[in-house]
Amino acid sequence: MVSLVVQRPCLVVPKRRGQEARILLSELNLLDNRMRVLTDSEKIFWPLVREISDDERLMLQDRLGDFELVYAKIESRNKRPKSILEELEEKLTPSQLAAIPHSFDIVGDIAVLEIPDELFDQRFLVGEAVLRVHKNIKVVLAKAGKIDGVARIRRFTHLAGENRTTTLHRENNCVFRVDLASAYFSPRLVTEHARVAHQVAPREVVVDLFAGVGPFSIQIAKKVDALVYAIDINKTAVDLLKLNIHLNKVDGRVIPILGDARKIVEERLFSKADRVIMNLPGSAESFIDVACRAIKAGGGIIHYYQFSSSPEAMDEAVNTLEKGVEANSRKVNKILECKKVRPSAPHEWQIVVDAKIR
Ligand SMILES: C[S@@+](CC[C@H](N)C(=O)[O-])C[C@H]1O[C@@H](n2cnc3c(N)ncnc32)[C@H](O)[C@@H]1O
């Protein structure tokens, strides 16, 4: 932000009378709050909005005793604009202003924007405005594609601030090193991560089939004395997961495993779990057999996630899970909960089903 240096009339008083002078100047609407205050070792220079009148001079003399009036070079305060709209109101047309997103994701010190087509040419200006309004934001990125591929990541365009996609994100008393360009992470799952973590009882064995950088696994191990096997197929996600296990001091309670969940369960985790987390909503259905194999012979709980745009989204998710479980010679004993987690696209929801399996 550029600050202006201008000549302003100033009232100069000894420092010991500084606050008295400030209060009086405020009462008389003479203090220029847009400008910085100057001081030297003995005196304080209060910037004024204008020259003072003879009556005002008399009143000041009466209340303050000696003072000086001088012209001094004063710098303007770098006042932060209150909103992105305020920051851009003179730079964009009314229809462009109307297209500014009302909200955006914040991951650590990174803001992630969805730039509408109408604002594409102004995207860097919008990015700079976000930086100026939000002092904790150091990086502004724009989504540049859909979440895609096995690793469930998307591309980003850098708009403003430092050019990086890594940051440290705090969530529910845990801290996560994330790299948005290389491993999945969504701040929109904050409540869901906590909801699942709250259900886990001491000494449970949990298998997090699609663990990412570890938000479910680590929050569980941080809350309760459980053992969590955290699997992911993306090497960068598992490298970050290992770092996060260490950062959150849950070493030994979360076991990071790089690989395909299907293969890992077959080789190492058959009939080991009291609880299985299946947060791969685009294709969890094709892993219901894997979850059934991981759950102990005596039964356990599955947290099953699915996307749905159907008006009967919740019934649809329950049916899919029940059928999948039965096809694997097990049974859903009870649906503990079924609800919408968050909107995942226009007219589409991420649904969770918590089910007791035997
Ligand atoms: C939607 S993300 C969820 C990450 C994490 N649970 C969270 O809440 O942030 C799904 C993760 O599954 C991983 N994944 C995809 N296919 C996999 C597979 N066959 N085996 C293990 N992990 C897989 C991806 O790399 C991605 O990190």
Res 21: pLDDT: 92
| pLDDT band for position 39 (cuts 50, 70, 90) | confident
CA 254 – CA 277 distance, rounded (Å): 14
pLDDT at position 248 over 90: yes
Q: With residue 123 as reference, give the H or E element that holds it.
A: helix 123-133
Do 292 and 340 fall into the same domain? yes
From 63-67, 90-94, 190-194, 220-224, the region with the lowest mean pLDDT: 90-94
CATH number at 246 reads 3.40.50.150
Instruction: Report if residue 177 sits inside a domain.
Output: no
- The verdict on residue 169 lying in a domain is no
Q: Whose CA is nearest to atom 22 of ligand 1?
A: 232
Q: How confident is the model at residue 89 (pLDDT cuts 50, 70, 90)?
A: confident
Q: Is the pLDDT of residue 25 over 70?
A: yes
Residue 125 in this model has a pLDDT that exceeds 60: yes
**Does 110 share its domain with 231?**
no
Give yes or no: residues 224 and 148 share one domain.
no
Identify whether the C-beta of residue 47 lies closer than 8 Å to the C-beta of residue 74: yes
**Looking at the structure, do residues 271 and 123 belong to the same domain, yes or no?**
no
Ligand 1 centroid to 120 CA: how many Å? 31
Model pLDDT for residues 146-202, shown as the tens digit of each residue: 999 999 999 999 999 999 999 999 999 999 999 999 999 999 999 999 999 999 999
Domain boundary among 25, 42, 75: 75
Q: Looking at ligand 1, which atom is closest to the CA of residue 277?
A: 6
Q: Given 28, 52, 75, which residue is the final one in a domain? A: 75
CA distances from 77 to 1, 36, 129, 159 (A): 10, 5, 18, 26
> Is the distance from the beta carbon of residue 279 to the nearest atom of ligand 1 less than 6 Å?
yes
Q: How many domains does the chain have?
A: 3
- Best of 231, 232, 263 for a ligand 1 pocket test (most atoms within 8 Å of beta carbon): 232
Question: Is the minimum distance from the CB of 75 to ligand 1 under 6 angstroms?
Answer: no
Question: Could you tell me if 267 and 341 lie in one domain?
Answer: yes
CA distance 306 to 333: 20
pLDDT digits (tens, 9 = 90+) for 273-315: 999 999 999 999 999 999 999 999 999 999 999 999 999 999 9
Q: Among 113, 134, 164, where does a domain finish?
A: 164
Residue 196 lies in a domain: yes
Per-residue pLDDT band at 232 (split at 50, 70, 90): very high
Domain that holds residue 111: 84-164
Q: How far is CA 16 from CA 38, 60, 67, in A?
A: 15, 16, 12
- Cα 232 to Cα 24, 68, 107, 320, 325: the distances in Å are 66, 71, 21, 24, 23
Task: Report the C-alpha gap between 266 and 262 in whole angstroms.
Answer: 6
